[in-house]
């Protein structure tokens, strides 16, 4: 039986390690490239958009929106992550496009005074929450009637597949439970079927589905990750096609009101 998570998790105190382990690697570069491709029409929107980035971390992806002239509300539960993001954006001369808040998702409706947004980003957040189902209802509340929710989450199905391929049969049979937790590794990947049901219950519709790292995480020879440009090209070519868009280590869905 899975141990129940009673509180949300954050990256407080490990912002630099997070950046180094995620965004300075091939997997982070793939993530950013996929998001940029999937949201290119919104990045290039002629009218400035109101954007809410939840669990924004260091704000690497929202920089593309800010640089295109959109206004971004950057929020994260970890104060040091927000401070690092502010310094980064100041260095890039993008600070005028941002407002920053240190707060968990649950406090944002009151903090933001029930404002609504053209684009809500919620990337790699659900798998760190104690109650991801309730998060979907909160996310819906931030959307304008024609707004877009960009939701990316850690795929439980892909984690099962990868660990069976690696021969970690006992780990899979134990329900993906381990005694020793790795702080930068999500401990509660989310089942896509559950997320789809939560969205349906909140009358939200999935418009597009993409897999993130459909091939990267299954490479038998890890040295092949160094052939990055070729690998990225294959990821982008196939990751919106079935069945590849279902086996990415993360899934990116574009969502709107139903």
Query: Does the annotation flag 213 for ligand binding?
Result: no
The phi, psi pair for 209, rounded to 5°, reads: -130, 130
Tokens of 63: 């920089």
Q: How confident is the model at residue 184 (pLDDT cuts 50, 70, 90)?
A: low
For 65-88, b where at least 16 C-beta lie within 10 A, e where not — what string? bbeeebbbbbbbbbebbbebbbeb
Tell me the pLDDT tens digit for each residue of 69-117: 999 999 999 999 999 999 999 999 999 999 999 999 999 999 999 899 9
Examine the pLDDT at 20 and tell me if it is beyond 70: no
* CA gap 210, 34 in Å, rounded: 8
Query: Does the annotation flag 55 for ligand binding?
Result: yes
Q: What is the pLDDT of residue 127?
A: 96
Q: What is the pTM of this model?
A: 0.91
Query: How many other CB atoms are there within 10 angstroms of residue 15's CB atom?
Result: 20
Note whether 66 and 98 are within 8 A (CB).
Answer: yes
Tell me the pLDDT tens digit for each residue of 194-217: 999 999 999 999 999 999 999 999
Cα separation values, 221 from 81, 177, 226, 230, 231, Å: 34, 26, 10, 15, 13
Sketch out the chain's domains with CATH numbers: 15-154+190-257 (3.40.50.150)
Mean pLDDT of 149-178: 94
Q: What is the pLDDT of residue 201?
A: 97
What percentage of the chain reaches a pLDDT higher than 90?
82
Q: What is the pLDDT of residue 3?
A: 41
Tell me the pLDDT tens digit for each residue of 126-147: 999 999 999 999 999 999 999 9
Tokens of 107: 């406090």
Query: Does the annotation flag 12 for ligand binding?
Result: no
Query: Does the annotation flag 123 for ligand binding?
Result: yes
**Rg, Å, the chain Cα set:** 18
The phi, psi pair for 106, rounded to 5°, reads: -65, -25
Per-residue 3-state assignment (H helix, E strand, C coil) for the chain: CCCCCCCCCCCCCCHHHHHHHHHCCHHHHHHHHHHHHHCHHHHCCCCCCEEEEECCCCCCCHHHHHHCCCEEEEEECCHHHHHHHHHHHHHCCCHHHEEEEECCHHHHHHHCCCCCEEEEEEECCHHHCCCHHHHHHHHHHCEEEEEEEEEEEEEHHHHHHHHHHCCCHHHHHCCCCCCCCCCCCCCCCECHHHHHHHHHHCCEEEEEEEEECCCHHHCCCHHHHHCHHHHHHHHHHHCCCCCHHHCCCEEEEEEEEC
| Mean predicted lDDT score pLDDT of the chain | 91
- Identify the burial level of 14 via C-beta atoms within 10 angstroms of its C-beta, where 0-12 means exposed, 13-18 middle and 19 or more buried: middle
Query: Does the annotation flag 31 for ligand binding?
Result: yes
Half-sphere exposure of 187 (CA within 13 A, CB side): 19
Residues constituting the chain: 258
């Amino acid at each position: 039986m899975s141990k129940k998570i009673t509180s949300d998790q954050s990256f407080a105190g490990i912002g630099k390690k997070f950046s180094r382990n995620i965004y300075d690697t091939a997997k982070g570069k793939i993530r950013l490239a996929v998001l940029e491709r999937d949201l290119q029409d919104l990045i290039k929107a002629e009218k400035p958009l109101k954007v809410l980035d939840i669990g924004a971390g260091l704000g690497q992806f929202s920089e593309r929106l800010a640089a295109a002239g959109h206004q971004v509300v950057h929020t994260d539960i970890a104060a040091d992550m927000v401070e690092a993001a502010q310094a980064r954006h100041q260095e890039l001369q993008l600070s005028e496009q941002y407002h920053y808040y240190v707060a968990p998702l649950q406090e944002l409706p009151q903090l933001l005074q029930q404002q609504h947004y053209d684009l809500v980003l919620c990337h790699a957040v659900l798998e760190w929450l104690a109650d991801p189902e309730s998060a979907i209802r909160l996310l819906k509340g931030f959307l304008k009637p024609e707004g877009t929710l960009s939701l990316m989450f850690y795929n439980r199905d892909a984690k099962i597949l990868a660990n069976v391929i690696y021969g970690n049969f006992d780990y899979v049979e134990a329900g993906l439970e381990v005694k020793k937790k790795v702080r930068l590794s999500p401990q509660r990947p989310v089942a896509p079927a559950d997320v789809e049901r939560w969205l349906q219950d909140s009358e939200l519709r999935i418009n597009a589905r993409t897999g993130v790292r459909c091939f990267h995480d299954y490479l038998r020879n890890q040295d092949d990750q160094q052939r990055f440009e070729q690998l990225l090209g294959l990821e982008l070519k196939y990751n919106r096609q079935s069945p590849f868009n279902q086996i990415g280590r993360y899934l990116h869905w574009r969502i709107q009101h139903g």
